[in-house]
Amino acid sequence: MKRFVLPLLIAFAAPSFAADAPHSSPPAPVEAAEEGDAPMVMLDVKSDQILLDGEPIAQPQLEQVLKQAGPDVKVVLRVDRELSHKRVVEMFDHLKVLGVGKVYLCTVGDPQ
């Protein structure tokens, strides 16, 4: 009986797990983010600060800028290759909480 139940369980559960799997697209140039009519905000993310148009911006001001841009805003995160993954994930999480649906990641620096 055990040999029969386990394959059935896997057969019925697998499609639901596949639907929740994260989707990863192949790398695309930054110009791909610029397509369309939705407003775009480009942020330079450093280890200790966030820059908007080259100027440091605090979290409350960033939230205000994103709210003014509207619900279909696209955000491009420019991060240095040396930036910790933890910091990048924190930024993605913060943007998700703010309701930003489209976030593009652009790495800068020399690939080694």
Residue 39, number of CB atoms within 10 A of its CB: 13
Structure tokens at 79: 């991060």
Q: Which residues make beta-bridge pairs with 78?
A: 44, 106
Name every residue whose Cβ is closer than 8 Å to that of residue 30 and which is 6 or more positions away in sequence. 76, 104, 106
Fold of 23-108: Nucleotidyltransferase; domain 5 (3.30.420)
pLDDT score recorded for residue 64 = 92
Q: List the chain domain ranges.
A: 23-108
Is the Cβ–Cβ distance between 94 and 68 less than 8 Å?
no
Beta strands 102-108 and 74-80, pairing class: parallel
CA 55 to chain centre: 22
pLDDT tens-place string over residues 75-87 = 999 998 888 889 9
How much is the pTM?
0.63
